[in-house]
Amino acid sequence: MRYNPGKSELSTEKKSAVLVLILFVNLILISSQIILKNRQSLLQSVIANMLMPLQITFQKSSDFVSAELDRYFFLRNIFKKYQVLKKQYLDLRIQVYALKSELRDLNVLAQVKKNSHKFVLATVVSVDVNFPYAQVMIDQGMRAGLAENDVVLNTDAELVGKIIKPLTAFSAQVRLITSSIGGTGAYIESNMLEGLLKGDNRAECSFQYLLANKAVSLGDIVITSGTDLIYPNYLPIGKVIKIDKDYLTQRIQVRPFFVDKPLKKLMVLLHE
């Protein structure tokens, strides 16, 4: 018989592999028979120790995903509630603004009614586009008791002007204090410096040739003095916006309060 060294070597490798396999199986069987103090076999302990890191990792991953999902749904619910509360807040702000406006109007009307025996509410129906600061037309006239030189205020009880002719039964003309015709006796409220306030068909009025012996500051309030015998005293007119000083006099520009507000509703104080 011819000797085949490759075949003998292959047979030896197979035998070694089988032997290792048998030893491994025996080791597993033996380890399964060894009982430790915790009443588990050695094999179970080895497997448990091998799987424990995977189990811990899986548990932590599950806890993390669960916590993130809970946080996501919680934040989503919070965001929805925030949107609802934000809308309610805006609605409440609108209601508060409306109530404040209504309360302000009621207080103004009560104050005017206290200081005057009778007044009439009127609506501006016409404005001269060429001279918007000269005069306007209102929807009340002689039928409502209006007469020439009746004082006209806005709904904040600030001076607007006076009634002039022509008057009809259902309409009247209001000459604004910003008109270039006429003038208004007025004080600087802070120091009672008095002068004649005149308009120029613009949004501002001005004091002409006030004495410079008393200091005037920007923002000072200007009120009626009553010396013109038309407007009652202490009615608010506007505030100082510009001061030009000379050696002995000072020229002061005043912006009436009514020019920065909607000129829609007016109050006419009737003569007794």
User: What's the pLDDT tens digit per position in 218-240?
Assistant: 999 999 988 888 898 889 999 99
- Beta bridge partners, 184, equal 197
pLDDT in tens, 6-27: 555 557 777 677 776 776 666 6
Residue type, 96: V
Alpha carbon distances (Å) from 89 to 84, 97, 100: 9, 12, 16
Q: Length of the chain, please? A: 272
Q: What is the pTM of this model?
A: 0.58
Residue 154 dihedral angles phi and psi, to the nearest 5°:
-90, 180
Instruction: Please tell me the distance from the alpha carbon of residue 223 to that of residue 240, in angstroms, as a whole number.
Output: 11
For residues 152 and 162, the answer to whether their CB atoms sit within 8 Å is yes
At 1 the pLDDT is 44
C-alpha span between 184 and 122 (Å, rounded): 22
Contact 231/159 with Cβ under 8 angstroms? yes
Per-residue confidence (pLDDT) for residue 99, from 0 to 100: 76
**Eight-state DSSP code of residue 223:** E
Show pLDDT as tens, one digit a residue, over the chain (272 residues). 455 555 555 577 776 777 767 766 666 666 555 554 555 555 566 666 676 777 777 777 777 887 888 788 888 888 888 888 887 887 787 787 777 767 766 665 565 555 555 889 999 999 988 899 999 999 999 999 999 999 999 988 899 999 999 899 999 999 999 999 989 999 998 888 999 999 999 999 999 778 888 889 999 999 998 888 889 888 999 999 999 888 788 899 999 999 999 999 999 998 76
